Structure 1
């Protein structure tokens, strides 16, 4: 019976996701290679679909003029973000990040390496005149994290979230030719909310790698030891700590939403990930911030429907 329910849920999710992909058929058709060889654009699309599915759905719902830019930027961010989990030690991680730092320099010198993400990002950078320092900021933040064993405070986690998520939104706004300080302000808060939420979602994965992402000041507040988090003990106290961290994400999300009147209509779709953030935080609240709860370990069939409906009805994020 359980397997039937799981299969039914998976089928529902697939149908909802396919609805969005069908809606964006012109994009997917353009991305298909004309030969057996995969194009850089198609490679980026597949990379985002595999490793960042929620943002993949959001990217498909963007206007035609910015979709390919979103997929290239997010593919680059995935490559940089995955360095930490792929590297066996700090030295190797630093070397891989140095490769991407050099790659960005080569992109802006019009000599990108024969890497599909680099080639597609080069095309996007030339087309939209994207700022180099935002791409570099994503790399620097990940590089600093390699040598940072823990987050000493909630503020340090918040700063990391800002540096690993907000630049993506700044780049998407540039790709949409939108330059306004209040829109950037909204993007900054959304990036912080997104980055903090990503870290919450990674707590269990990082614990398996014997890494702690719950800030030390929050752990001290709730008398949590490192071993308790790594072994999944004291689940109530861990839930209390997760509540504190998620409250900060919710605060930034609400601030971003309070500024939505400053966001022009053509940029509203860029802020669609606010829906995915709010959706996860609400699911987390309903299980009393128990990150071990089984309902949080799988995709929701409702999210693609909500995203599609928001886009279709041009509803605010």
Structure 2
């Protein structure tokens, strides 16, 4: 097995710290020896999530995501290991026998981000959240020696739905939910708020389910910490100044850090 360059792991950490500071802080509570490997899987997840913002047309985005799936399946060029995130990721996958199929599913799921097609139903939304949010937490759990438990799936659904709610209302809101409430994603009115409130309740329910399931985890609970900030965002939806066309305002960094610290101390997610 070819080991990744230490500088490439350092690059993953820097990327995480710059692009998602809450996620980087959550990783600090993991054991030091495991931290670099967790940085690698999250750096990969961020690289895939950021593709849409870096391209001018969907085809270019699909090519970028295909590069990642080729790298994971061993079909990319020999120069793949020159990419710092790919080098660290491939090393981590080999060390911990991470499920390559699941990592490929994450890249495939982000293809939907490149287009403006409305998500058809809640079931499709859940599949997206399982691939993009639950997957990385489950891999982090494996790195920490945790069994593959329901807690990771529930936490991923809570985190994934909350990430969608943080954005301005758009194509990710399931069409069947909009139809149920007679809502329009372009009109800030009671029907749209009702549809989004149903998603909020779904995220809250999944969060509570994750908290209950996490009690059975004797190892690797730190992998669930990215979900600890979910309640802070959901509470923002209840405020009078919440505008679904603009998305959620950020809770203060201090409040988010306090939630992470409290969860890490064992007081609950």
Fold conserved between structures, TM > 0.5: yes
Q: Tell me by how many angstroms 1:79 deviates.
A: 0.6
8 A Cα contact 2:118 2:171, kept in partner: yes
SS at match of 1:113: helix
| 1:270 matched to 2:223 | yes
What per-residue deviation string (whole Å, max 9, x for no partner) do you get for residues 59-90 of structure 1?
11212232112211110001111112322222
Q: Tell me by how many angstroms 1:110 deviates.
A: 8.9
Q: Tell me by how many angstroms 1:301 deviates.
A: 2.1
| 1:305 matched to 2:258 | yes
Q: How do 1:135-150 and structure 2 match up within 5 A?
A: 135-146=103-114, 149-150=117-118
| 1:257 matched to 2:211 | yes
Aligned length: 264
In structure 1, C-alpha distance between the alignment counterparts of 2:23 and 2:189, rounded to whole Å? 30
SS at match of 1:270: helix
8 A Cα contact 2:9 2:40, kept in partner: yes
Which of 111, 115, 121 matches 2:83? 115
Query: What residue is the counterpart of 2:3 in the other structure?
Result: none
SS at match of 2:30: coil
Query: What residue is the counterpart of 2:131 in the other structure?
Result: 163
Q: 1:288 to 1:241 in 2, by over 3 A?
A: farther
Query: What residue is the counterpart of 1:65 in the other structure?
Result: 33
Q: 1:97 to 1:123 in 2, by over 3 A?
A: same
8 A Cα contact 2:48 2:65, kept in partner: yes
Query: What residue is the counterpart of 1:17 in the other structure?
Result: none
Unaligned ranges ≥5, structure 1: 1-32, 34-38, 205-210
In structure 2, C-alpha distance between the alignment counterparts of 1:121 and 1:105, rounded to whole Å? 12
The higher radius of gyration belongs to 1
| 1:191 matched to 2:156 | yes
Q: 1:69 to 1:97 in 2, by over 3 A?
A: same
8 A Cα contact 2:188 2:243, kept in partner: no
The farther-off stretch of 121-130 and 79-88 is 121-130
| 1:281 matched to 2:234 | yes
What per-residue deviation string (whole Å, max 9, x for no partner) do you get for residues 18-75 of structure 1?
xxxxxxxxxxxxxxx8xxxxx2122111211222221111011212232112211110
Q: How do 1:1-317 and structure 2 match up within 5 A?
A: 39-106=7-74, 112-146=80-114, 149-180=117-148, 183=149, 185-203=150-168, 211-226=170-185, 229=186, 233-264=187-218, 266-287=219-240, 290-291=243-244, 296-297=249-250, 299-311=252-264, 313-317=265-269
SS at match of 2:267: coil
Q: Tell me by how many angstroms 1:179 deviates.
A: 2.6
Q: Tell me by how many angstroms 1:128 deviates.
A: 2.2
- Going by fraction, where is helix more abundant, 1 or 2? 1
8 A Cα contact 1:107 1:118, kept in partner: no
Q: Tell me by how many angstroms 1:108 deviates.
A: 10
What per-residue deviation string (whole Å, max 9, x for no partner) do you get for residues 210-260 of structure 1?
x5222212222332235xx2xxx3344332221011111112111111212
Q: 1:296 to 1:259 in 2, by over 3 A?
A: same
